[in-house]
């Protein structure tokens, strides 16, 4: 029929196979022949049943995201599904891999769905700032009930085949030859006889919805949306499925979809989808992959323990090294406790916990690292200490082992120089808690070998991380930009802003928390110690630390935390302290508005990002976005700082930075060359000449 859709016969069952690698997206070149094939099969009297299956590694994983934002080419997905529903003979979707988004919606157009036992099914459109636009919001509730559908659609999280069977989303689950069993299933349906009810006409479950409970659930979900439009639209669409006729609900879904797909938030989230995949390509794609079977981690503190857990969670045996038995036992006990918490929360089975714990081996002897293929150091953040560790590693590690440092600031070239094999040394900057946070900055040092880089990028993906390759500079991409974001915090306070006012501007922008809440959470003493070591000061933060106000862990910092609670309460004492310090400096308080706070915190963030890009510390502007969204909570609906800069307008950013630079003379406001070029050309790609 076409290169992308073929039809074969197995007796009187027609098997339509979609073959559009890599993930069988519903591109125009699939929809057109699929529509034709289905129309022909519907009218073919020799065909008694139709199976829709996919070649390759997965069932249809969704609409083709690259087509969004371009003129729609007919037939649309909705038309293909509508045609499916006019077919009187039994239609069956044979699902393997992932049936996601438009893929699941296509399957919902069939009378029946059967799945391989490893299959996953879901409507993840919300993660792209969208809602299911192929009838998913109207059909899924008819099969699984409105409350279950709401949870699936608003979270975007897929469910496994067994859960799908229990929920009524699929009619059978098979192990082994899926296609043969699906054809048999279809034949049985032919024998059983119709009429076969399309999903659109199945109203039984919907009628039983507890509307009050549904609305409560929807309200709770809306509260968590944090300024994102898509989750609210998803909930609205599922509500429509209950309260409107099927056709009305479908029309309303379309309207909501068109609005979202044209909006900035979805553009931002689609940008991030491709940015993450692009960043993972890192570099050295064709280089060899070094074998990694055994991992070593040096340091069993918070960071080392979390890193060790991240590898164990990915199935890798880990040798955990500490300097003393006592420190090792403490580290292992924390790991044990963390897994126990996961079990008690129901996110990990007891069996899986045991399997993971079995992967750990503790040691206090460097010689035990000799059989490791990758060794990650997570010791105290001081160059001399790191170099000593690498010197020891050089002596014991096998030839070809990858030696990684988890430093968050230090010069990886200098660390590599402590070994006789700098080509095997790389930075792996995990974020705390390392077993949870997705971001992994992979620091390419001057002499890091291409196959080392390729190996750690692939490894990162295997342990579920989002890798971004960066170059060497103080703080790499994330922490270097964080310093630029925070450079004006103290000045803003002294000039009249309060911590809660600044944090509020951040949360209104979409951040999960503002800089002062973040400081209190991380512990103000860390920055204090760092500043002291480097001969730096921060008037307010230092004064707080001198009073023992280290943040949440001491019950007070920029805020108060009452009775062990994590809820920040604005503290008049802090405001008085700020005013006193301002008075000492002769700074009068004035009103500071939200625009000024954004201009003095986020514009320098963008400016520093541009410098990083110009210095080639990051390969692409989108890599910087991936770092900030996955490691620092930059709102996904704004696409990361560099994407947001495009929305905000480079010319506006440069104009305001110039203004602040003129007024304060501070370097952090001085626009870099690349930012100026971006302001002229309108995009980062054209600014860097791509």
- Token pair belonging to 513: 């928390």
Angle at 201 between CA 200 and CA 202, to 5 degrees: 95
HEC-encoded secondary structure of 572-587? HHHHHHHHHHHHHCCC
The DSSP call for residue 369 is G
Is the CB of 40 or the CB of 262 nearer to ligand 3H9?
262
Q: How far is the CB of 67 from ligand 3H9 (least distance, A)?
A: 8
Going by their DSSP bridges, the two strands 13-18 and 5-10 should be labelled as antiparallel
CB of 459 to ligand 3H9, least distance (A): 14
Non-local CB neighbours of 136 within 8 Å, separated by 6+ positions: 101, 104, 105, 108, 123, 125, 153
Nearest approach in angstroms of CB 105 to ligand 3H9 is 6
Contact 142/206 with Cβ under 8 angstroms?
Answer: yes
Can you list the alpha helix ranges (DSSP code H) found in 156-245?
A: 161-167, 178-192, 204-207, 211-223, 229-243
CB of 276 to ligand 3H9, least distance (A): 8
154's CB contacts (< 8 A; 6+ apart) are 126, 221, 231, 234, 235
Report the C-alpha gap between 524 and 618 in whole angstroms. Answer: 29
Longest dimension (CA), the chain: 92
Q: Please, which residue, 107 or 449, has the CB nearer to ligand 3H9?
A: 107
What is the C-alpha radius of gyration for the chain, rounded to an integer number of angstroms? 28
Task: Write the CB contacts of 328 (distance below 8 Å, at least 6 apart in sequence).
Answer: 300, 320, 321, 322, 362, 363, 364
Nearer to ligand 3H9 by Cβ, of 5 and 77: the residue is 77
Of 250 and 472, nearer to ligand 3H9 (C-beta) is: 250
Q: Is 615 an annotated catalytic residue?
A: no
When the beta carbons of 140 and 577 are compared against ligand 3H9, the nearer one is: 140
CB of 224 to ligand 3H9, least distance (A): 20
Smallest distance, ligand 3H9 to C-beta of residue 280, A: 7
H or E segment and range at residue 440: strand 439-443
- Main-chain dihedrals φ then ψ at residue 158, nearest 5 degrees: -75, 160
Q: Which CB, 275 or 482, lies closer to ligand 3H9?
A: 275
The first and second tokens of residue 416, run together, are: 């590599």
Report the interface residues with ligand 3H9, using CB under 6 A. Answer: 22-23, 25, 58, 61-66, 77, 98, 100-102, 105, 124-125, 128, 130, 132-134, 136, 274, 277
Catalytic residue among 76, 105, 495, 608: 105
What is the C-alpha separation between 234 and 125, in angstroms, rounded? 9
DSSP class of 555: T
Give the span between the Cα atoms of 457 and 453, in whole angstroms: 6
Residue with smaller CB distance to ligand 3H9, 101 or 631: 101
Catalytic residue among 67, 76, 85, 125: 125
State the minimum distance, in angstroms, from the CB of residue 106 to ligand 3H9: 9
Would you say 425 and 416 are in contact if contact means Cβ atoms under 8 Å apart? Answer: yes
CB 266 → ligand 3H9: shortest distance, Å? 10
Decide whether 64 or 571 has the Cβ nearer to ligand 3H9: 64
Question: Degrees (nearest 5) of the Cα angle 155, 159, 164?
Answer: 125
Measured from the CB atom, the residue of 265 and 405 that comes closer to ligand 3H9 is 265
Q: Which is nearer to ligand 3H9, 35 or 386 (CB)?
A: 35
What minimum distance in Å lies between the beta carbon of 272 and ligand 3H9? 12
Instruction: Name the β-bridge partners of 425.
Output: 403
Shortest distance (Å) from residue 66 CB to ligand 3H9? 5
How many separate helices (H) and strands (E) can be counted in the chain?
31, 19
How far apart CA 626 and CA 465 sit, in angstroms, is 12
- Sheet containing strand 425-430, edge to edge, reads 360-363, 318-321, 295-298, 374-377, 402-405, 425-430, 439-443, 466-470
Minimum CB separation from ligand 3H9 for residue 439, in Å? 17
Query: Tokens in use for 222?
Result: 């809306």
The yes-or-no answer on residue 125 being catalytic is yes
Taking each helix axis from N to C terminus, what angle separates 350-357 and 325-345, rounded to the nearest 10 degrees? 160
Q: Whose Cβ is closer to ligand 3H9: residue 353's or residue 461's?
A: 461
Q: Are strands 120-122 and 159-160 parallel, antiparallel or unpaired?
A: antiparallel
Kindly list the catalytic residues. 105, 125
């Amino acid at each position: 029929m076409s290169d992308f859709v073929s039809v074969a016969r197995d007796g009187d069952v027609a098997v339509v196979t979609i073959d559009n690698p890599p993930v069988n997206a519903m591109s125009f070149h699939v929809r057109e022949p699929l529509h034709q094939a289905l129309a022909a099969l519907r009218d073919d009297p020799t065909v008694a049943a139709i199976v829709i299956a996919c070649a390759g590694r997965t069932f249809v994983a969704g609409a083709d995201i690259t087509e969004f934002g371009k003129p729609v080419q007919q037939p649309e997905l909705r038309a293909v599904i509508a045609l499916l529903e006019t077919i009187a003979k039994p239609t069956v979707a044979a699902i393997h891999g992932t049936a996601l988004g438009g893929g699941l919606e296509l399957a919902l157009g069939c009378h029946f769905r059967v799945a391989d036992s490893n299959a996953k099914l879901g409507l993840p459109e919300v993660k792209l700032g969208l809602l299911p636009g192929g009838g998913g919001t109207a059909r899924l509730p008819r099969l699984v009930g409105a409350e279950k559908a709401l949870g699936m659609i608003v979270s975007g999280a897929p469910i496994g085949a067994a859960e799908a069977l229990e929920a009524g989303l699929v009619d059978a689950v098979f192990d082994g030859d899926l296609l043969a069993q699906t054809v048999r299933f279809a034949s049985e349906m032919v024998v059983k006889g119709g009429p076969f009810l399309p999903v659109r006409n199945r109203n039984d479950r919907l009628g039983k919805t507890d509307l009050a409970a549904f609305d409560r659930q929807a309200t709770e979900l809306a509260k968590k949306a944090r300024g994102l439009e898509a989750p609210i639209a998803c909930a609205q669409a599922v509500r429509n499925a209950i309260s409107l006729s099927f056709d009305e609900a479908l029309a309303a879904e379309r309207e909501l979809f068109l609005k979202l797909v044209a909006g900035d938030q979805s553009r931002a989230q689609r940008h991030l989808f491709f940015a993450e995949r692009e960043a993972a390509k890192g570099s050295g794609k064709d280089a060899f992959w070094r074998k990694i079977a055994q991992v070593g981690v040096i340091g069993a503190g918070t960071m080392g323990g979390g890193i060790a857990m991240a590898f164990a969670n990915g199935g890798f045996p880990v040798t955990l090294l500490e300097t003393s038995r006592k420190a090792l036992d403490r580290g292992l006990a924390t790991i044990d406790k963390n897994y126990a918490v996961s079990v008690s929360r129901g996110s990990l089975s007891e069996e899986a916990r045991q399997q993971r714990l079995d992967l750990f081996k503790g040691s206090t002897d460097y010689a035990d690292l000799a059989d490791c293929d990758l060794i990650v150091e997570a010791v105290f953040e001081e160059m001399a200490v790191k170099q000593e560790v690498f010197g020891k590693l050089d002596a014991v590690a096998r030839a070809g082992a990858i030696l990684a440092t988890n430093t968050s600031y230090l010069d990886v070239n200098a660390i590599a120089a402590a070994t006789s094999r700098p080509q095997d040394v790389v930075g792996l900057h995990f974020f705390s808690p390392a077993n949870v946070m997705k971001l992994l900055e992979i620091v390419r040092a001057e002499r890091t070998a291409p196959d080392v880089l390729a190996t750690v990028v692939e490894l990162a993906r295997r342990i579920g991380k989002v890798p971004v390759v960066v170059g060497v500079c103080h703080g790499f991409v994330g922490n270097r930009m964080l310093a630029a974001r925070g450079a004006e915090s103290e000045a803003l306070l002294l000039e009249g802003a309060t911590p809660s006012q600044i944090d509020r501007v951040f949360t209104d922008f979409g951040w999960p928390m503002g800089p002062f809440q973040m400081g209190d959470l991380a512990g103000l003493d860390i920055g204090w110690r760092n500043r002291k070591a480097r001969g730096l000061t921060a008037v307010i933060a230092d004064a707080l630390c001198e009073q023992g106000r280290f943040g949440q862990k001491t019950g007070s910092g920029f805020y108060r935390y009452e009775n062990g609670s994590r809820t920040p309460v604005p503290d008049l004492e802090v405001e008085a302290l700020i005013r006193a310090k301002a008075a000492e400096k002769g700074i009068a308080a004035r009103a500071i508005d939200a625009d000024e706070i954004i201009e003095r915190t986020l514009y320098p963030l963008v400016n520093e990002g541009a410098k990083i890009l110009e210095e080639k510390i990051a390969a692409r502007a989108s890599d910087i976005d991936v770092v900030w969204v996955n490691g620092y909570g930059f709102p996904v609906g704004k696409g990361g700082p560099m994407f947001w800069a495009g929305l905000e307008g480079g010319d506006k950013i440069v104009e305001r930075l110039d203004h602040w630079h003129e007024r304060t003379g501070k370097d952090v406001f001085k626009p870099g060359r690349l930012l100026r070029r971006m302001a002229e050309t309108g995009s980062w790609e054209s600014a860097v000449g791509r």
